[in-house]
A and B are shown apart, each in its own frame.
Chain A
Amino acid sequence: EAGVTQFPSHSVIEKGQTVTLRCDPISGHDNLYWYRRVMGKEIKFLLHFVKESKQDESGMPNNRFLAERTGGTYSTLKVQPAELEDSGVYFCASSDSNYGYTFGSGTRLTVV
């Protein structure tokens, strides 16, 4: 089966611009998660979708971040406007239960 796909793999944007990251989970996985790793820090939870609903968004840093999962398939994470501290690697993971998580390769976001 195809794995979790993230696009783009790299993005360099200027402070104040908007960036949208996309995640295509494994087909049939109801659970979709976004995580972020800032340089030198651990991977941190951002939010969790069950199908199209936000189950838990307690990890979202602020209202500049907006995640959607229309139709319960792929998900997007928009950062608007981007700030320097948003730089990092954004990972997506999907699961068909609360047990096995499959991660994507991540999107490396650099805000300059």
Chain B
Amino acid sequence: GQNIDQPTEMTATEGAIVQINCTYQTSGFNGLFWYQQHAGEAPTFLSYNVLDGLEEKGRFSSFLSRSKGYSYLLLKELQMKDSASYLCAVRALYSGAGSYQLTFGKGTKLSVIP
């Protein structure tokens, strides 16, 4: 089975940097996704890592270490609009179905304060 852990809540100040961690245990690993979700809206894609290392995209960066089962999402120059839930999701191959499945963590609710 899959197990994904991430902090439930975090608070950070506007303009600061925040790092949201995600640890996972899985078999058949085939990539890790980060999504942002505002209340009542669709999860929106932020980043995808399948190899070890850092992926940078504007104010957002994501890091993956497959050997440690660890990822983080780094948000720089925080803005009030970054207040949202951030979902870590692992894609793995389920051999019985021959299909990839996304398994989500419970999400980290980030509050950005002035």
Residues of A within 8 A of B (CB): 3-4, 33, 35, 41-45, 48, 55-56, 58-59, 91, 98-106
Contacts and interface: CB of A to CB of B under 8 A. Distances in A.
Interface stretch (B9-17, B58-66, B69-77, B97-105): B97-105
Contacts of A42: 4, 103-107
B100 to A, nearest CB: 5
Contact of A55 (B4, B44, B97, B106): B97
Given A41-B106, A42-B4, A42-B105, A56 B99 contact: yes
Interface in B29-64: 31, 33, 35, 40-45, 48
A56 B4 contact: no
Nearest to A59: B101
Given A42-B106, A56-B94, A99-B48, 20 more contacts: A41-B106, A42-B4, A42-B103, A42-B104, A43-B87, A43-B89, A43-B104, A45-B103, A48-B101, A56-B97, A56-B99, A58-B94, A58-B101, A98-B100, A101-B45, A101-B102, A102-B45, A103-B43, A104-B42, A106-B42
A57 to B, nearest CB: 8
B31 to A, nearest CB: 8
Contacts of B114: none
Interface in B73-100: 87, 89, 91, 94, 96-100
Contacts of A45: 101-103
B94 to A, nearest CB: 7
9 contacts: A42-B105, A42-B107, A56-B94, A58-B101, A98-B100, A99-B48, A101-B33, A105-B40, A105-B42
Interface string B15-30: 0000000000000000
A103 B33 CA distance: 13
A46 to B, nearest CB: 10
